[in-house]
Amino acid sequence: MALITMRQAITDALREEMRRDETVFIMGEEVGVWGGSYAVTRGFYDEFGAKRVRDTPISEMAIGGVAVGAAMNGLRPVAEFMTINFAFLALDQLVNHAAKVHYMFGGQIKCPAVFRAPGGSGRQLGATHSHTPDVIFAHFPGLKVVSPGTPYDAKGLLKSAIRTEDPVLFIEHQALYQVRGEVPEGDYVVPIGKSDVKREGDDVTIVAYAQGLQVALEAAKQLAEEGIEAEVVDLRSLRPLDMGPVLDSFRKTFRAVVVEEGWRSYGIGAEVAARLQEEGFDFMDAPVKRVAQLETPLPYSRELEQAALINKDRVVAAVKEIV
Amino acid sequence: MDKATLLDWYRQMVLVRRFEQRSAELYQLGKIGGFLHLYIGQEAVAVGSIGARRKQDHVITAYRDHAHALVVGTDPGALMAELLGKETGISKGRGGSMHMADVAHNYWGGYGIVGGHVPLGTGIALAEQYNGTDAVVLCYMGDGSTNIGYFHESLNLAGVWDLPVIYIVENNQYGMGTAVDRASAVPDISTKALAYGMEPKKVDGMNVIEVYEATRDAIAAIHDGKGPQFLDVITYRYEGHSMGDPLRYRTKEEVAKWREDDPIGVLERYILEKKIAGKETLEDIDQEVEKVIEQAVDFAEKSPFPALDTLFDNIYVEA
Ligand SMILES: Cc1ncc(C[n+]2csc(CCOP(=O)(O)OP(=O)(O)O)c2C)c(N)n1
Ligand SMILES: [Mg+2]
């Protein structure tokens, strides 16, 4: 075990997969000579060369489509969107091609492409650069969407993403790049589509993922000091969504809070709450609470931005309303 | 051109035309649903260009995609079955008219989003370059697609990366009802190639031999290290954009004028004038094609619809 950052975990996963499999290559803006906008691919250009670490023009539509085409024809591209805010320009490729070609052509075509995209808010980047639009991408059957909350999961999930025969959107949280965690030496994978209990407790279930997981764990710590034991379930994958551990926990705690960094409307909380009432109605002792971003474009000014975002106190308050 | 090739091209063009005419009839009968975009008038483009391709070369196009499938050698029965939504269809009844692929023949489809497949074709070419093969991609699109961002981003990237791809614009003068000069700031589409370091080339798309030669030369140019290629192939569709087009945007006279250059007629005259074959030979071919089409329809009609419990098949490779 080593204590490494999430950035390092992602870098290690990429490097190990590229060494393992010649068909894996990286493409995106500033991934090569620059070393990656978030320094995830630093040193790759020197190790793997221009053929496998491909700097692209600023052409998100082409990055999306070319990655899909290359994957259809046998390669394993890892395409990087500089941030998820720019992936909107490639939404059509993700939705209409990556998510569709296998089904629409009766199983003839596979698309084993990975799209990496840093997302998240809270860095005073203003309204255009601060989205957490994960649910938009998770809406489409055919695409897999994962977003890790720990370095361990980041490395294992990225390896799974690269190895699966299906297209995967891998959402990295900018604020988590510096977070450290235990990661074993050597090869391992974390399966896509498996939620994971990150903290055990009997009083309330907190469902979260990515940055929300860190917020939920902080809140759980404070609640514990006040005698409330929260169970924290990390979704890790948004599609396929694994409700198993969430329901197991809910059948024990009878109450749940869902934490997400994106907006509340039509969000993860909406989905999880709906599933809980469909599949766990008999265990429901209180309304399912949602802690999410307030419904406004994010402002630049620091205090104002923070006022719109999720934090530990809001999660604690939501828990106390139902416990 | 040798006799066998010319006769085969004639056969293929007649096959495409008859296939399209038959599918229009089946559409009128309500047996085909959704959109149906016919290729009638453009036959020389698919036949001539695919005539120049080698087995290892790839083909990808937009939603006007039946012809390319027929010409690469897809079983007409599987195509007709696809139109009828049958399990035996080339895309198992999941794709329909706009989404037919036959990967066994390096035919990647069939895409319904205008221009959306242009980066896919470019990516397919990237994979060939990556693997160090000599295969190229024939990436077809309509004139209307040259105005969408995909076109520009893809051609630029292909230029920067020197990818083995030939962009073939099937310039049939209209995108739905909008004439080229009402949609493109440069009415001469071939000049768009210049912005991406490619030579502008215009080809008579009603003449199968010229289309063949232009494509053959483009493949050779790629192999000579000249990078991606661009062909502006001038053609015309006789029928509406899709079924039910009110055709308010063009005159009957205009259509009649283009029909004088009918691609099948042009080749037929060439074959007869050059005494490559006689009228009876061509009529025999027509008869043969008729049989193939009837067999295809028969196969499609008799095939089963997909079982309802297969609805969720193939969403993922690894569910
Ligand atoms: C992105 C997108 N916008 C609009 C449409 C609707 N549409 C379908 S075909 C078409 C015209 C395309 O014309 P062209 O590229 O010249 O091809 P042609 O139909 O002439 O073969 C339009 C606007 C679409 N399918 N996709
Ligand atoms: Mg057109």
The mean pLDDT of chain B is: 98
Count chain A–chain B contacts defined by CB atoms under 8 A: 142
**What is the mean pLDDT of the segment spanning A200-205?**
98
- Of A30, A25, A35, the C-alpha closest to A78 is A25
- The answer to whether residue B220 neighbours chain A at the CB level (below 8 Å) is no
- Residue A291 has which token pair? 């802690």
Q: What is the ipTM of this complex?
A: 0.96
What is the rounded CA–CA span in Å between residue A236 and residue A213? Answer: 9
Q: Which one-letter DSSP state was computed for residue A108?
A: -
Residue of B nearest to A141 (CA): B315
Q: Over the stretch A73-129, which tens digit does the pLDDT of each residue have?
A: 999 999 999 999 999 999 999 999 999 999 999 999 999 999 999 999 999 999 999
Give the distance from residue A48's alpha carbon to the nearest chain B alpha carbon, in angstroms: 13
**What is the mean pLDDT of the segment spanning B10-35?**
98
The answer to whether the Cβ–Cβ distance between A69 and B123 falls below 8 Å is yes
Angle formed by the axes of helices B279-302 and B263-273, nearest 10°: 140
- Of B95, B94, B100, B98, the C-alpha closest to B114 is B98
- The answer to whether residue B226 neighbours chain A at the CB level (below 8 Å) is no
Please say if A60 is a catalytic residue.
yes
The answer to whether the Cβ–Cβ distance between B121 and A69 falls below 8 Å is yes
**What is the mean pLDDT of the segment spanning B183-201?**
98
From the list A67, A105, A164, the residue facing B123 with the nearest CB is: A67
User: Which are the contacts of B252, defined by CB distance < 8 A and separation ≥ 6?
Assistant: none
Q: How many percent of chain B have pLDDT more than 90?
A: 99
- pLDDT tier for residue A51 given thresholds of 50, 70 and 90: very high
Q: How many percent of chain A have pLDDT more than 70?
A: 100
- Give CATH superfamily name and number for B3-300: Thiamin diphosphate (ThDP)-binding fold, Pyr/PP domains (3.40.50.970)
- pLDDT tier for residue A233 given thresholds of 50, 70 and 90: very high
- The answer to whether residue B41 neighbours chain A at the CB level (below 8 Å) is no
Q: Over the stretch B93-126, which tens digit does the pLDDT of each residue have?
A: 999 999 999 999 999 999 999 999 999 999 999 9
- pLDDT tier for residue A282 given thresholds of 50, 70 and 90: very high
Give the per-residue pLDDT at A1. 87
Give the per-residue pLDDT at B193. 97
E strand residue ranges, A16-143: 24-28, 53-55, 76-80, 114-119
Spell out which residues of chain A touch residue B103, defining contact as CB-CB under 8 Å.
Answer: 105, 108-109
Give the per-residue pLDDT at A288. 98
- CATH code, residues A196-322: 3.40.50.920
The answer to whether the Cβ–Cβ distance between B92 and A164 falls below 8 Å is no
Give the per-residue pLDDT at A312. 98
**What is the mean pLDDT of the segment spanning B163-183?**
98
For residue B174, give the ligand nearest its CA.
2
The answer to whether the Cβ–Cβ distance between A166 and B318 falls below 8 Å is yes
The answer to whether the Cβ–Cβ distance between A62 and B150 falls below 8 Å is yes
> With a 6 A CB cut-off, is B263 part of the ligand 1 pocket?
no
Q: Which CATH class is domain A2-183?
A: alpha beta
Please compute Rg for chain A using Cα positions: 19
- Of B173, B236, B178, the C-alpha closest to B205 is B236
Residue spans per domain, chain A? 2-183, 196-322
Q: Which of residues 118-147 of A touch B (CB under 8 A)?
A: 141-142, 144
User: Is-contact A263 A225, C-beta < 8 A?
Assistant: no
Given a cut of 90, whether residue A267 has pLDDT beyond it is: yes
Same CATH topology for A2-183 and A196-322: the answer is yes
**What is the mean pLDDT of the segment spanning B278-288?**
98
Given a cut of 90, whether residue B21 has pLDDT beyond it is: yes
Q: Which of residues 178-207 of A touch B (CB under 8 A)?
A: none
- Nearest residue by C-alpha to atom 12 in ligand 1: B175
Residue spans per domain, chain B? 3-300
- Nearest residue by C-alpha to atom 20 in ligand 1: B175
User: Could you say which of A60, A260, A261, A271 is catalytic?
Assistant: A60
- pLDDT tier for residue B319 given thresholds of 50, 70 and 90: confident
Q: How many percent of chain A have pLDDT more than 90?
A: 99
Give the distance from residue A22's alpha carbon to the nearest chain B alpha carbon, in angstroms: 10
Please say if A139 is a catalytic residue.
no
- Nearest residue by C-alpha to atom 19 in ligand 1: B175
Q: Over the stretch B221-266, which tens digit does the pLDDT of each residue have?
A: 999 999 999 999 999 999 999 999 999 999 999 999 999 999 999 9
Partnered with residue A53 across adjacent β-strands are: A26
